[in-house]
Amino acid sequence: MSRRSLLLVVFTALLAIAGTVPANAQKPPAFQVKDGVTQPVFSAAAAIRESVWVETGTDLDRDGKPDRVAADIVRPSEPAARGQRVPVIMDASPYYQTLGRGNESELKTYDSAGKAVKYPLFYDNYFVPRGYAVVLVDVAGTSRSRGCLDAGGPGDVRSAKSVIDWLNGRAAGYSAVTGGSKVTADWTTGATGMIGKSWDGTVANGVAATGVDGLRTIVPIAAISSWYDYYRSDGVSFTSGTIADLTDSQESQWGHAHCAAVQQELKAGSPANGDFTPMWAGHDFVPDASEVKASVFVVHGQADHNVKTINYGQWWNALPPTTPRKIWLSQTGHVDPFDFRRQAWVDTLHRWFDRWLLDVRNGVEDEPQASIERGPDQWADGKAFPADGVRDTKFFPASGSTAGVGVLGSAQAPAGTRESFTDDGRSAAESWIAKPGDPSSSRVLFSSTALPADKQVSGTGSVTVTATPSTPTAHLSAMLVDFGPATIRSAQGEGVRNLSTESCWGENRPGDDACYQDTEATKANVTGQIVARGWADLANYASLSTPRQLTPGQPYTMTFRLSTVDHVFPAGHRIGLVIGGTDASTIAAPAKLPKVTVDLDRSSVTLPTR
């Protein structure tokens, strides 16, 4: 028996022992391995391209028929001719005919027969020759799918889950969006990996939280884990729009015409006051993270102000302890790793999919769990995230010699120590740290002495503030700041910019090339940088679902979250805490702008440090 044949036999036996081979996938998968990775032995140009519409079991558009979602498939023809089966890489998105995908905003294109020609991103060009099928799913209510877009509700999640069920013989697929003949997936092993950035990665999180059989791994990039935490933070609303407006902007003409009821449910369930409602609970995947059976490879930018980092932090922490996992944290904003660490990303993703979809024992799971960008293109690996040895450490603010500018340390302030600021409704966080030694009417600032050694903060911290408002409404913002000179990725282009050159990743075929613009880091020299942020409505001090009326002149204590972070404060730098009212760059102002007095002896920040 040849070495390759032996590999295939052993692989099939291992799957059978694990009980993960679906009934329709008894033949071995097709792949060739060299140096621990699959080789490009199949032709992308000769690949089979087809579309299937899968019933989701919902009727969100209320047309009296089960919703069907479109899945555009590209798979190597050679294994099909030999009766061999292939695993699936899936990206389910609402953006294939609107914003497009990737740095170059690629859209799906179709020929006159309705077959997909352009498959956005490099996944098909690179992985189809290596023995994978790539399946791009139009989320319900978008592009060629029926149903309604509902941002993490049953429409989104079942769009992709139903396709996984179809791949494993548990759901019905058809050759057309209405009518058509039944189509079966007799060409696949059923093993599926989901990947995607932003909304796409969010769908992957939601599907994984169902515990669906056949989903072997997910790679959520800058993904949401709770839609409440995309639009709200501890009772306060972000100014980034509404959930109903977002879904409405992506829906196809079919969705616009038939989805008024779903839109109304989203509007009614997302009141502007920031309360946590049953609608938000139904769009939160964190409580069901314990159901995840797949391995998880998280990627997120620590400067992502679109999908705040609390989303990856709470998701990561809620996964079962036995979940095989890996995490990359960059200094970028809302950016795909293909555009900030391209070669390493393609190599690592390749080995990750080979390991979890084809059981190639390449050791990727034994490598350091975390890889974190400490400076532009300066990456450091860590054994675990949060870092081994972190413990919650409490820091206390205290007054200094200048009003509103104090110290941050291990000693609690004397009873009765207070500092005040006035919410002007228009100041932004970056302006609060620009001159840390100067007083400001719109914030108070506290900083430690120069650190004698590096201090790492790794995980999710929190701020406790005892505040007395002068009006019945008050919002709070808190910033964890690294004061000291550093070169970081700048906010320009969210930390990257395009170059005039291209690089190619996979095989070109007519209508779908594998070449993409190269990028490089944008850099900035700073003397202070915000490394974690938190926002809250003081009226929600006792409950996120039921705000309380505030009495002017009465103190209230509220603990709220900071964003998840892994950051090293170098020796000689100072740890800063800023507390203000409305951070106008992010949150809405309260109805009546207050003066806020902070009781320092009853306020603190808790950080996971080592």
479-514 pLDDT per residue, tens: 999 999 999 999 999 999 999 999 999 999 999 999
Q: What does the pLDDT read at residue 26?
A: 57
Mean pLDDT of 514-536: 98
Q: Find out whether 376 and 525 touch, Cβ atoms under 8 Å.
A: no
Cβ atoms < 10 Å from Cβ of 159: 33
For the chain, give the percent of residues with pLDDT over 90. Answer: 93
Between these two residues, 9 and 542, which has the higher pLDDT value?
542
- Whole-angstrom CA distances from 466 to 12, 416, 555, 556, 602 are 61, 12, 6, 5, 6
Beta strands in 169-305 (DSSP E): 173-174, 182-183, 188-197, 215-221, 232-233, 236-237, 295-301
Q: Is the pLDDT of residue 15 over 60?
A: no
Q: Is the pLDDT of residue 22 over 50?
A: no
Give tens-digit pLDDT for 401-456: 999 999 999 999 999 999 999 999 999 999 999 999 999 999 999 999 999 999 99
Q: Which of 132, 113, 114, 116 has the alpha carbon at shortest distance from 124?
A: 132
Cβ atoms < 10 Å from Cβ of 183: 19
Q: Is the backbone of residue 495 left (phi > 0), alpha (psi -120 to 50) or beta?
A: left
Residues designated as active site:
198, 304, 334
Does the bond joining 386 to the residue before it have cis omega, within 30 degrees of 0? yes
Q: Is the pLDDT of residue 13 over 50?
A: no
Q: What does the pLDDT read at residue 20?
A: 43
Q: What does the pLDDT read at residue 2?
A: 44
For the chain, give the percent of residues with pLDDT over 70. Answer: 96
Which domains occur in the chain, in start order? 3-225+279-382 (3.40.50.1820), 391-609 (2.60.120.260)
- Whole-angstrom CA distances from 335 to 173, 226, 342, 477, 590 are 34, 19, 12, 25, 32
Give the separation between CA 152 and CA 92, rounded to whole angstroms: 12
Q: What does the pLDDT read at residue 255?
A: 86
Give the separation between CA 77 and CA 252, rounded to whole angstroms: 32
Q: Is the pLDDT of residue 24 over 70?
A: no
User: Tokens for 342?
Assistant: 């391209």
Q: Please list, in sequence order, all residues whose beta carbon lies within 8 angstroms of the beta carbon of residue 355, skipping any fewer than 6 positions away.
A: 361, 362, 364, 365
Q: Please list, in sequence order, all residues whose beta carbon lies within 8 angstroms of the beta carbon of residue 605, skipping any fewer than 6 positions away.
A: 394, 395, 397, 408, 461, 462, 463, 464, 478, 480, 562, 577
- Whole-angstrom CA distances from 232 to 17, 243, 259, 539 are 45, 11, 24, 14
Mean pLDDT of 344-363: 97
Strands 133-138 and 86-93: parallel
**Confidence bin at 119 (pLDDT 50/70/90):** very high
Long-range (24+ apart) CB contacts under 8 A made by 375-384 are 375/331, 375/486, 375/487, 375/488, 376/331, 376/487, 376/488, 376/489, 376/495, 376/521, 376/523, 377/341, 377/521, 379/341, 379/344, 382/566
Q: What does the pLDDT read at residue 29?
A: 82
Q: Please tell me the chain's helix, strand, coil percentages from 3-state DSSP, rounded to the nearest 5.
A: 20, 35, 40
Radius of gyration of the chain, Cα coordinates, nearest whole angstrom: 25
**Confidence bin at 7 (pLDDT 50/70/90):** very low
Average pLDDT taken over every residue of the chain = 94
Pick from 44-48, 102-106, 254-258: least confident? 254-258
- According to DSSP H, which parts of 117-167 are helical? 123-127, 154-167
Q: What is the largest CA-CA distance in the chain?
A: 84
Q: Which of 207, 238, 228 has the alpha carbon at shortest distance from 278?
A: 228
Give tens-digit pLDDT for 42-60: 999 999 999 999 999 999 9
Q: Is the pLDDT of residue 1 over 70?
A: no
Q: Find out whether 69 and 58 touch, Cβ atoms under 8 Å.
A: no
Kindly compute the dihedral angle of the four CA atoms of residues 83, 85, 86, 88, in this order, to the nearest 10 degrees.
120
User: Tokens for 399?
Assistant: 């007054």
> How remote is the C-alpha of 374 from its chain's centroid?
20
Q: Find out whether 191 and 170 touch, Cβ atoms under 8 Å.
A: no
**Confidence bin at 30 (pLDDT 50/70/90):** confident
Pick from 155-169, 174-188, 248-262: least confident? 248-262
Report DSSP state, residue 284.
B
Give the separation between CA 413 and CA 489, rounded to whole angstroms: 36
User: Tokens for 20?
Assistant: 């993960």
**Confidence bin at 382 (pLDDT 50/70/90):** very high
Q: Is the pLDDT of residue 16 over 70?
A: no
Q: Please list, in sequence order, all residues whose beta carbon lies within 8 angstroms of the beta carbon of residue 191, skipping any fewer than 6 positions away.
A: 20, 87, 88, 214, 216, 356, 357, 358
**Confidence bin at 6 (pLDDT 50/70/90):** very low
Give the separation between CA 329 and CA 398, rounded to whole angstroms: 33
pTM exceeding the 0.85 threshold for the entire prediction: yes
Beta bridge partners of residue 445, listed in sequence order: 405, 578
